[in-house]
Amino acid sequence: MKANFMENFVADDSTIVIGLPENVQELKNFTELDTLLNGAAKELLEAGVLSSKARKITTTAVTIQRQYRKVIAVGLGQGNDLTVLKLQEAIGSLFQYMEDESINKVQVILDSFGFDLSEVADAFGLMSELSTFRMVGYTTDDKKQFSENLELTLVSKQALTLEFEHGRKLGASINVARNYATLPPNELYPESFADDLATLFKDRKYVTGEIKDFDTLDQEGFGLLTAVGKGSVRKPRLVTIEYKHPDASDKEPIALIGKGITYDTGGYSLKTRTGMRSMKYDMSGAANVVGMMEAISQLELPVHVVAVLALAENMVDGNGMRPDDVYKSLQGKTVEVSNTDAEGRLVLADAVYYAADKYQPKVMMDFATLTGAVIQAIGEYRTGIFANADRTVINNLLISAKVTGEDIWQLPLGQAEENRVKKSAIADLINADFKPGGASFAAAFIKEFTKDRPWIHFDIAGTSNTSKDTPFARSGSTGVMIRTVIDLIESGTLYE
């Protein structure tokens, strides 16, 4: 992408982009905008040629120096109701329209959007990356990302480069996560994922890391992670990425833990033909944590954050984990396996305990495509959360989720679920009981390994992918919760 910044509109061969709130005639620069539209702004709106309806994209043509130029109008709705989220959605719709129409060179009159210019510039940076992302490189047409060929000029007298770059870096970081989540499993597996992350973060400012291989995990007692991954020829890995800015205000880090099952057959509790399809996305939790770390490090946020990624393949093999097996966790508790397709909670258990024990974090957040039960409970449009964290932390998380539009819903986690996970006849815990409330059961299982550190579990099974286009994403991986977590961290409330 080529991004330019100019104080004044200059006529060239670019398509012109304007914002159209319903109160357009009240804009400070309405006279300038009306002149650009050949003095016909009011008439074009009244005739329905242009529309101020939220997210509605309309076009017209104007003559500038005897040359016709295309104008794209972005409907913003009622100006008093416009929020950052609605602004982002409108701009996302703009970029998707531009991609569909093969328009890749535009001048944007920022003042016409009638909103805080810093937020408008940030939104253009964010949505220029997010809204048109799709997986490329696997077809013979050698198609590139739309953003690669985009020439975007932002017109404003206010200096907005930093704001635009903030949004762009966040959007690009989310696309890193989406790309990992979408890679085919014959290319992305525990070893290759870990090696790629080592390359990605090599020489990154304030970042250190460690990769534990299968033998190390076995020797150090990661009994649940190795149990899940031992049936695959591609053995498990545990990846730690630590970012510590010198201006971090708290020695206790924030811990982000990701489930990284790079392919899930279900193991001996084998999935069906249709149920196994798309199980490459079962590492979306780990991918999204990578996206969070990418954003934190690229934006150089003044924080201390540790990511722990549990990477494994859940395959069928003569040496694979079986129902009725019992394994000892890193914590020391034993676990009876009743369902090999409830493997995500096993790898998370070792990873969560490792993070809690080694780093004693201020708060832990784990992310996992963990249960179908959460979809049954709250649908595909909300992320289910479970927590033992302080109510203030949860409330601040809810505020950030509202800002980003990534809906979350707190689900119950109490003594009843904690009792259920302990109902093994021969071990300390059992990994599944096949009863209603499966999402709460899974969360209660993970809670056993938190060492009572403040903790939030995000079950993103329903929200990690979308089957239809939204302004934030074409169909496919969403990178869900990255924007919310970054907003939460940037708010500073985790350190209050």
Give percent of the chain above pLDDT 90: 93
429: Cβ contacts below 8 Å, ≥ 6 apart: 333, 334, 335, 336, 421, 422, 445, 448
* pTM score, whole prediction: 0.97
User: What pLDDT was estimated at residue 79?
Assistant: 86
Give me the mean pLDDT over the 193-220 stretch. 98
- Consult the annotation and say whether 264 binds a ligand: yes
User: What pLDDT was estimated at residue 443?
Assistant: 99
Are residue 353 and residue 467 in the same domain, yes or no? Answer: yes
Give me the mean pLDDT over the 422-440 stretch. 97
User: What pLDDT was estimated at residue 66?
Assistant: 82
Are residue 29 and residue 174 in the same domain, yes or no? Answer: no
Between CA 321 and CA 339 the distance in angstroms is 10
Q: 328 near 277, Cβ under 8 Å?
A: no
Give me the mean pLDDT over the 441-452 stretch. 99
Residue 490 pLDDT more than 90?
yes
Angle of CA points 236, 241, 244, to nearest 5°: 165
Per-residue pLDDT tens for 309-325? 999 999 999 999 999 99
Q: Which position among 134, 244, 271, 328 bears the catalytic label?
A: 271
Are residue 355 and residue 481 in the same domain, yes or no? Answer: yes
User: What pLDDT was estimated at residue 386?
Assistant: 98
* CATH for 136: 3.40.220.10
Are residue 142 and residue 266 in the same domain, yes or no? Answer: no
Q: Does any domain span residue 164? A: no
User: What pLDDT was estimated at residue 29?
Assistant: 87
Catalytic residue at 345? yes
Are residue 182 and residue 140 in the same domain, yes or no? Answer: no
Between CA 14 and CA 62 the distance in angstroms is 12
Are residue 148 and residue 174 in the same domain, yes or no? Answer: no
51: Cβ contacts below 8 Å, ≥ 6 apart: 20, 45, 58, 73, 75
- Consult the annotation and say whether 213 binds a ligand: no
User: What pLDDT was estimated at residue 356?
Assistant: 99
Both structure tokens of 143: 């198609």
Give percent of the chain above pLDDT 70: 100
Report DSSP state, residue 304.
E
Q: Domain containing 136: what range?
A: 2-156
Catalytic residue at 271? yes
Give me the mean pLDDT over the 465-487 stretch. 96
Are residue 486 and residue 357 in the same domain, yes or no? Answer: yes
17 to each of 6, 95, 255, how far by Cα in Å? Answer: 14, 11, 42
Instruction: Tell me whether residue 167 is exposed, middle or buried, using C-beta atoms within 10 angstroms of its C-beta: 0 to 12, 13 to 18, 19 or more.
Output: buried
Chain CA centroid to CA 218, Å: 31
Give me the mean pLDDT over the 369-375 stretch. 98
Asked which of 130, 156, 182 is the last residue of a domain, the reply is 156
Both structure tokens of 117: 């210019």
- Consult the annotation and say whether 259 binds a ligand: yes
Give me the mean pLDDT over the 32-55 stretch. 95
Asked which of 156, 190, 208 is the last residue of a domain, the reply is 156
Per-residue pLDDT tens for 116-175? 999 999 999 999 999 999 988 898 887 889 999 999 999 999 999 999 999 999 999 999
Are residue 121 and residue 77 in the same domain, yes or no? Answer: yes
Phi–psi pair at 378, nearest 5 degrees: -130, 10
Q: Does any domain span residue 279? A: yes
What is the full DSSP assignment across 195-216?
Answer: HHHHHHTTT-TTEEEEEE-HHH
Instruction: Indicate the number of domains in the chain.
Output: 2
Are residue 151 and residue 190 in the same domain, yes or no? Answer: no
Q: Which position among 345, 382, 453, 483 bears the catalytic label?
A: 345
Chain CA centroid to CA 294, Å: 11
Reported as half-sphere exposure (CB side, CA atoms, 13 A), residue 423 has a value of 13
More confident residue, 235 or 29: 235
Residue 35 pLDDT more than 90?
yes
Per-residue pLDDT tens for 57-91? 999 999 988 889 999 999 999 989 999 999 999 99
Give me the mean pLDDT over the 247-274 stretch. 95
Give me the mean pLDDT over the 99-122 stretch. 97
Q: Which of 332, 104, 293, 85 is nearest to 197 (CA)?
A: 293
Give me the mean pLDDT over the 249-264 stretch. 94
Mean pLDDT of the chain: 96
User: What pLDDT was estimated at residue 467?
Assistant: 92
Report DSSP state, residue 235.
-
Residue 176 pLDDT more than 80?
yes
Please state which of the ranges 63-67, 191-195, 294-298 shows the lowest mean pLDDT. 63-67
Asked which of 100, 133, 156 is the last residue of a domain, the reply is 156
For tokens 């039960």, name the residue. Answer: 373
* CATH for 424: 3.40.630.10
Residue 212: band (very low, low, confident or very high) from pLDDT cuts 50, 70, 90: very high
Are residue 143 and residue 195 in the same domain, yes or no? Answer: no
